[in-house]
């Protein structure tokens, strides 16, 4: 299953009208993950993506899609901290596979 398919499953999205937009969010999320983890851009084109990093990218891409109108968090917008909760969770997942440098 591709990342696009996993993001669409996470969003419970069955149409393909927004596939190009989702691919853009997946690319942005992947670049964020690579930067946060201290890997060079396009690292995950060659390297195997750990499950925790993949989940972070799925969550972040979904967040970008659901809050594209500038709201706090789409599905998770039941409180004012929703957007921050997404970022905290994503960063915790990405930290597990980070290349720690001194």
Instruction: Name the pTM for this structure.
Output: 0.87
Which residue, among 13, 2, 83, 85, has the nearest Cα to 49 in the 3D structure?
A: 2
DSSP character for 48?
P
| Percent helix / strand / coil, the chain, rounded to 5 | 65, 0, 35
Q: In terms of pLDDT, which residue wins out, 44 or 83?
A: 44
Per-residue tokens: 65? 């899609």
Q: Where are the domains of the chain?
A: 3-95
Tens of pLDDT along 29-48? 999 999 999 999 999 999 99
């Amino acid at each position: 299953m591709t990342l696009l398919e996993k993001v669409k499953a996470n969003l419970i999205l069955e149409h393909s009208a927004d596939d190009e937009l989702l691919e853009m969010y997946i690319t942005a999320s992947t670049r964020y993950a690579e930067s946060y983890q201290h890997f060079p851009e396009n690292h995950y084109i060659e390297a195997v993506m750990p499950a925790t990093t993949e989940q972070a990218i799925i969550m972040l891409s979904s967040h970008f899609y659901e809050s594209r109108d500038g709201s706090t968090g789409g599905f998770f917008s039941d409180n004012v901290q929703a957007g921050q909760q997404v970022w905290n969770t994503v960063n915790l997942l990405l930290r597990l596979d980070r290349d720690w440098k001194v």
